[in-house]
Amino acid sequence: MNTIELRDLCKSFGKNQVLKNIDLQLKSGEVTALMGPNGSGKTTLLKSILGLVIPDSGKILVNNADVKNDFHYRNLIGYMPQIANYPENMKVRELFAIVKDLRGHKEITDDELIDNFKLNEITGKNFGQLSGGYKQRVTGALAFLYHPEIMILDEPTASLDPLSSEIMRNKILKEKQKDKIIIISSHIASEVETLADRLIYILDGKIIINKTLKELKNGSQELKLGKTLTEILAPVLHNKKS
């Protein structure tokens, strides 16, 4: 059983306080969706867990161990960023070789996305020759390749075509059965309804909602996430204006 715990996490960029005293606990077997307006702090939160952004204060614990100045914990994590870009003369197979070299202790790889995205056909191509969508498919396949226990997916379907998005969603649903921690940031309410068990809504660097989708349904048969969010957020936004 893996856990991620954020304790009183704060981060500012200059005068702009992006994360304000974030407390959060995530555990295996749950897909957590991170939602919020652009610039609300979603990506900063995900990047803090990955060690890309260094918090000003607070703690990040992965499996109860502080990740500050550690990099070994990233063996547990598969990450798919919003934007993927690689050296233009590097071949696709060379990028796979780098990841294999860095994580090569695991013999069995998860090649499902490599097959479904038809990446075997482009392994000899340079990244400079690939479209943005193809680069994103490669990134997606790499994120799942070494059976990570923790998956951090930053808008995983945003740059993918409809068919590839569906392949990605199905893959996430499959991984959900494997008792992993899966965190997805998304703007698409229907996607969150399909994939997630828990919703975290961030506004101006603060967690406004942290509830399971079951709790959000509040007894009704069907969840209309867009409508529910509007109802919950209306008083918060009203107070903010006044």
Q: CB atoms < 10 A from the CB of 102, how many?
A: 11
Tell the smallest beta-carbon distance from residue 149 to other proteins (Å).
13
- Amino acid (1-letter code) at residue 187: H
Rule CB under 8 A: is residue 87 a binding residue for other proteins?
Answer: yes
Rule CB under 8 A: is residue 94 a binding residue for other proteins?
Answer: yes
Stretch that binds other proteins, among 23-31, 46-54, 57-65, 161-169 (CB under 8 A): 46-54
Q: Give, as ranges, the residues between 100 and 119 that touch other proteins (CB under 8 A).
A: 101-103
CA pair distance 126, 185, nearest whole angstrom = 29
- Write out the two tokens for 198: 């828990």
In the block, residue with structure tokens 């555990």: 27
Q: Give, as ranges, the residues between 51 and 80 that touch other proteins (CB under 8 A).
A: 51-54, 71-75, 77, 79
Rule CB under 8 A: is residue 47 a binding residue for other proteins?
Answer: yes
Counting residues that bind other proteins (by CB under 8 A) gives 32
Rule CB under 8 A: is residue 134 a binding residue for other proteins?
Answer: no
Stretch that binds other proteins, among 27-35, 43-51, 115-123, 230-238 (CB under 8 A): 43-51
CA atoms within 13 A on the CB side of 199: 26
Tell the smallest beta-carbon distance from residue 224 to other proteins (Å).
35
Q: What angle do CA 129, 46, 51 make, to 5 degrees?
A: 85
Residue pair 117/140 in contact (Cβ under 8 Å)? The answer is yes
Residue pair 146/99 in contact (Cβ under 8 Å)? The answer is yes
Task: Name the residues that contact other proteins, by CB under 8 A.
Answer: 13, 47, 50-54, 71-75, 77, 79, 81, 83-90, 94-95, 97-99, 101-103, 139
